[in-house]
Structure formats: structure tokens, C-alpha cells
């Protein structure tokens, strides 16, 4: 398990761990028909697994997330995990009660096997020779991790955005392995608008003259293309209201417009900053692969209908949407809820009023906390 010290914060210093499989004849069979072997998953854990291994919760990160969900990596670390406010003693994912796990998805670039990993067949990095992956493939790898940790059945899976897609896959295909699914700001399939934004991001990267058809690892990276892709993506995570409140039409470091093509508005400087910081921690090829996996995600097509996707599911569901989320708007969550209700499944739903757009699931911790706490407490009592 991750080594945790309580000297820094309530979670403390967290050391990532690595699970490797598939070196022999047990590689990961992907939906494409290809076999990925070997596979490494980077993961972190928080809290303690109880004696009967019944208190484990798997957190599923969004597109640009990773295994580092809470705590700090070293004493001078100024940036805690991506869901730090939700995980820890007395928090919704209470580490006094639950054993929390979070792993980086395959195809990522933060410790798990992805296009930046070494291809054992060539001895060089995969690049675009990495096989195309799906959200289902991500979950199949997570199943192997849970088995490795000796957990017969998860108390819950939980995630927002792409993490919510993974939670839906768990509850649809592997409900015998999970009691409850918490799905935040997500969808059962990406809309044409969502696919379009992803396509713009991929084109920005692949049009960068430094992309070299994905073979840039020993050269200067396609930083500008990746930065533009992130800028476009980040706009979809916000809302008109949140951008108005945060930026309005305020100018940056000037009193009036100077009639040039330089960035002059605060929102322009903000997007440049977000794009610039993103290239320091993310791989352009991973952006391409993960965005494509999101595009492919479609429970209705995979199962014939949304109702059939959950026909055999025994999991309970908590589904939350956010009023200003225009990337995965509330109507898409309601479609999932209606399909579950038609199948007679146990589902709770709430649309939370929030101005923060798609990012609300990361920001509205106080608003969503009581519902998550109650849901976990209920399924925990039922499955003791």
C-alpha cells in the first residue's frame, strides 16, 4: 500500500505504488483486439483496508487527472491531489472509515503504461504505435489492480467526467464487483459538440510542426499545439457565468486597448497560463489517446440501448449533475437516471445549481459532500 505520513496534513505524504502485470501470457486484451503487454498501473491509497476487505472505494480520475487524488508527494509540495478536499478524516471519502484507491488510467502519462512508455518489441517509446484504447479498457486494467489488492468487491466506485464514464462501465459490466457507483458531471456517450471540441484539440497537437507523427520524445515536444488543445478544452470546463464573474472584459496590465494583436484581456492571459502549465505535466500523445477514448465511449451502442447496458446491474447509483455544465449538461445525466429507473434500479439523482460549469464536480465540494456521505453510509451499512 502507499506509505502515508501524518506529519504534513491530515492525509500526509503519499508515496505512489506500481502494479505490473502481463509480462508473460496474461496481457490486457483490448477492445481493439490487440493485447497490451506488459502493463504498469500507478496508484495511491489512503486509509486502511479492513479485516474483511469490505471498505474499499476506487476513485476514477477525469481526463487530465492522475493517481494523486489527495495528500502531498513531499514536504515542500505546494500542490495537493486533485480531490484533496474530498478525501481524508471526516471528509466525504472518510479515511477513518474507508480504504481509498486511485490509479492512473492506461494511456495516461503519470506512471501508468501509455504512449510515452517503452514498447518492449522495439525498445523505444510507443508514440502512435501504442494501441487505441477505450474507457472499457481502462476499467479492465483497474479490475486487475483490485484483484491484485485482494479486494473481492468494492464498496463503491466514484468519479467525475471521464471518471464518471469509468464508473458507469464498472456498474454496467462488473456490478458483481462493486456495490455502488457515484457518477458526477458525466454522460453515457459524448455529444457531437463534445467530439468536435476533442477533434480541435487533437488537430492542434498533430498540426504542430514539432509533433513528428508522435515521435518527438527525444526532441523538442509539440508544446504549442498541446497548449492550444488545453486552452480549447479548458473553455469547455467553465461556463459563461463563471467566466463573466472571474474575468468579465477586464484588461490585463493595461488601462486601455492598444489596437494590437497581443493578448490584452485577462481571460486571454489566463488561458495562456493554463495552456503553459499543462505542457509541463502532460504528454501530447496521451491527450490524443484519452480524448479518442472519450469519443468512443457509448453505452447505448455497445449494449443496444441504455436500458440494456444496466439490465443485469446490481449496483446502486448516485448521479449528480450541475446546472451550468454545458459540456455534459444535466439532460445527459437524466437520460441515465431514466434508463435506470425503467430497469427498476436503485438510483438517486440531484442537479446542483452552480455557476462553475463542468468543473463544478471539482469545486463544489461542500454542496456535493452531504449526498456522497449519505450514499456511502447507506451502502456501507447494507453490505456489512
What digits encode the pLDDT tens for the residues 173-201? 999 999 999 999 999 999 999 999 999 99
User: pLDDT tens across 232-260, in order?
Assistant: 999 999 999 988 988 888 887 777 777 77
pTM of this structure: 0.94
Predicted pLDDT at 6: 41
Print the SS3 string covering the chain.
CCCEECCCCCCCEECCEEEEECCCCCCEECCCCCEECCEEEEEEEECCCCCCCCCEEEEECCCCCCCCCCCECCCCCCCCCCCHHHECCCCCECCCCCEEEEECCCCCCCCCCCCCCECCCCCCECHHHCCCCCHHHHHHHHHHHHHHCCCCCEEEEEEECHHHHHHHHHHHHCHHHEEEEEEECCCCECCHHHHHHHHHHHHHHHCCCCCHHHCCCCCCCCHHHHHHHHHHHHHHHCCHHHHHHHCCCCECCCCCCCCCCCCCEHHHHHHHHHHHHHCCCCCHHHHHHHHHHHHHCEHHHHHCCHHHHCCCCCCEEEEEEECCCCCCCHHHHHHHHHHHHHCCCCEEEEEECCCCHHHHHHHCHHHHHHHHHHHHHHHHHHCC
Task: Kindly state the average pLDDT of the residues 9-27.
Answer: 89
- What is the arithmetic mean of pLDDT over 33-56? 97
pLDDT at 121 over 70: yes
**147, 151, 144: which is closest to 52 by C-alpha?**
151
Summarised one tens digit per residue, pLDDT across range 321-347 is: 999 999 999 999 999 999 999 999 999
> How many degrees, rounded to 5, is the angle at CA 360 between CA 179 and CA 174?
20
Q: How high does pLDDT run on average in the chain?
A: 94
Taking 60 as the threshold, does the pLDDT of residue 5 lie above it? no
Q: How confident is the model at residue 216, as a pLDDT?
A: 98
- What pLDDT sits at residue 371? 98
Give yes or no for a cis peptide into 38 (omega within 30° of 0).
Answer: yes
Residues 172/299, Cβ–Cβ less than 8 Å: yes
Superfamily holding 4-190+301-382? Alpha/Beta hydrolase fold, catalytic domain (3.40.50.1820)
Average pLDDT score over residue span 146-168: 98
- Catalytic residue numbers read 161, 325, 358
Comma-separated ranges of CATH 3.40.50.1820 domains in the chain: 4-190+301-382
Q: What is the mean pLDDT of residues 363-373?
A: 96
Query: Percent of the chain beyond pLDDT 90?
Result: 84
Q: Is pLDDT at 9 greater than 60 in this prediction?
A: no
Question: What pLDDT shows up at residue 109?
Answer: 96
pLDDT band at 125 (very low <50, low <70, confident <90, very high): very high
Confidence at 2, pLDDT banded by 50, 70, 90 = very low
d(CA 310, CA 335): 13
The model's confidence at residue 54, banded by pLDDT at 50, 70 and 90, is: very high
Domain ranges in the chain with CATH number 1.10.1740.110: 195-291
Q: What's the CATH fold of domain 195-291?
A: Rna Polymerase Sigma Factor; Chain: A (1.10.1740)
Render the burial of 235-266: b for 16+ CB within 10 Å, e for the rest. Answer: bbbbbeebbeeebeeebeeeeeeeeeeeebbb
More confident site: 3 or 11: 11
Amino acid at each position: 500500500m502507499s506509505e502515508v505520513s501524518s506529519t504534513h496534513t491530515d492525509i500526509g505524504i503519499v508515496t505512489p505504488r506500481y502494479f505490473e502485470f502481463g509480462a508473460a501470457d496474461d496481457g490486457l486484451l483490448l477492445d481493439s483486439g490487440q493485447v497490451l503487454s506488459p502493463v504498469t498501473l500507478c496508484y495511491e491509497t489512503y486509509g486502511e483496508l479492513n479485516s474483511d476487505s469490505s471498505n474499499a472505494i476506487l476513485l476514477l480520475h477525469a481526463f487530465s487527472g492522475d493517481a494523486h487524488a489527495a495528500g502531498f508527494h513531499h514536504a515542500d509540495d505546494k500542490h495537493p491531489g486533485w480531490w484533496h478536499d474530498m478525501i481524508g478524516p471526516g471528509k466525504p471519502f472518510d479515511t477513518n472509515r474507508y480504504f481509498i484507491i486511485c490509479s492512473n488510467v492506461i494511456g495516461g502519462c503519470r506512471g501508468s503504461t501509455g504512449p510515452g512508455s517503452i514498447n518492449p518489441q522495439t525498445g523505444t517509446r510507443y508514440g502512435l504505435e501504442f494501441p487505441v484504447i477505450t474507457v472499457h479498457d481502462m476499467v479492465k486494467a483497474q479490475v486487475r489492480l483490485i484483484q491484485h489488492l485482494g479486494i473481492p468487491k468494492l464498496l463503491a466506485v466514484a468519479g467525475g467526467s471521464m471518471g464518471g464514464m469509468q464508473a458507469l462501465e464498472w456498474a454496467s459490466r462488473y456490478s458483481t464487483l462493486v456495490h455502488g457507483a457515484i457518477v458526477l458531471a458525466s454522460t453515457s456517450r459524448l455529444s457531437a459538440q463534445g467530439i468536435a471540441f476533442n477533434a480541435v484539440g487533437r488537430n492542434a497537437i498533430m498540426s504542430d510542426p514539432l509533433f513528428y507523427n508522435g515521435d518527438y520524445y527525444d526532441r523538442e515536444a509539440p508544446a504549442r499545439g498541446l497548449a492550444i488543445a488545453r486552452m480549447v478544452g479548458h473553455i469547455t470546463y467553465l461556463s459563461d457565468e463563471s467566466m463573466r464573474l472571474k474575468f468579465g472584459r477586464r484588461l490585463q496590465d493595461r488601462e486601455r486597448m492598444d489596437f494590437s494583436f497581443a493578448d490584452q484581456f485577462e481571460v486571454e492571459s489566463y488561458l495562456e497560463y493554463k495552456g503553459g502549465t499543462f505542457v509541463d505535466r502532460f504528454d501530447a500523445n496521451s491527450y490524443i489517446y484519452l480524448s479518442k477514448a472519450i469519443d468512443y465511449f457509448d453505452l447505448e451502442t455497445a449494449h443496444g440501448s441504455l436500458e440494456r447496458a444496466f439490465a443485469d446491474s446490481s449496483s446502486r447509483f448516485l448521479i449528480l449533475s450541475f446546472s451550468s455544465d454545458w459540456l455534459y449538461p444535466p439532460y445527459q445525466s437524466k437520460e441515465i437516471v431514466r434508463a435506470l429507473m425503467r430497469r427498476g434500479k436503485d438510483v438517486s439523482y440531484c442537479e446542483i445549481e452552480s455557476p462553475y460549469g463542468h468543473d463544478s464536480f471539482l469545486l463544489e465540494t461542500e454542496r456535493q459532500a452531504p449526498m456522497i456521505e449519505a450514499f456511502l453510509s447507506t451502502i456501507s451499512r447494507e453490505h456489512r
